[in-house]
Structure 1
Amino acid sequence: MTETPCSEGCGLNLVAPVGCDATETATSLGLPLGNAVAFDPVIPTPGEVTLMATIATRPKAVAAAAKALSTEGSAVSVIEDSPGYAVQRVIATIVNIACEIAQQRIAAPGDIDIAVGLGLNYPQGPLALGNHHGPTLILEILDALHARTGDPSYRASLWRRASR
């Protein structure tokens, strides 16, 4: 979690949740919810900025965040406050499923990456993707999502835990 603090008058505090929601992140940092807007610096989507407002974020703060984080021609979307971002959730889940397959010795790690690359036309396999973003970050996302949602699909593979 990171922050860009400002006084109550400036109208914006940027937070960067990892597997958490904007409200929880701002609250844990002691920031006023009305000025807090979250963005996803972990796995940015090229040409797009996805913002997450807290339950009490003022429209002026959202507008200021959009102006600060977007570039000419980039799309800005605001999503509901929820644990994690779509990209964090999807990538962490894909990596975790690949880890489960490796853990159960259904396929070797290299074969998993090749199969996903060929079968789904991914630019890199899920294990290479997990290594690119870092095993610690993937675990942090999975652990936070599992703790907040209780959804077993976010329970980190033991193989992923052991291989970080």
Structure 2
Amino acid sequence: MTVHARPLSPEDRSAWNALFRDYLAFYGTALPTASLERSFKKLIDPADADRFGLVAIADNRVAGFVNCILHGHNWHDGEVCYLQDLFVAPAFRGSGIGRHLIEAVYVEADERNTPTVYWMTQRSNARARRIYEKVGSLTEFIKYVRA
């Protein structure tokens, strides 16, 4: 199977929406359609330099996606890349698409002069963590959110 990653485009709306809804369901949540539309528009807008999305194409269809946010950081001169969302369609899991997408983010981040890339996942997401431990380093940081 040949896989390639490319920037998210307007033609990907239907496939991205379906995969993004499945991604949200995996994490036990849902968003209103308006929120999905807003996010999609920002991810494909070339004027929005703070975000980008990529899709993996396999067997001539969208097999997965990543959504990233670039932001400043007080410990770096430039920006860093937060890989906020990554999802591979169930039919394509185990085929290396997740790793391919992460490596495509690394390339895009380097091209944007933001070589620091980070992401989070649930401790219980063992399948994804097996991939993440091959392409990244686990840190000692624990995430807190506003109570």
TM-score category of the 2 structures, normalised to the smaller one: under 0.3
Compare the two structures and name the one with the higher strand fraction.
Answer: 2
**TM-score where L is the length of structure 1:** 0.26
Compare the two structures and name the one with the higher helix fraction.
Answer: 1
Instruction: State the structure with more CA Rg.
Output: 1
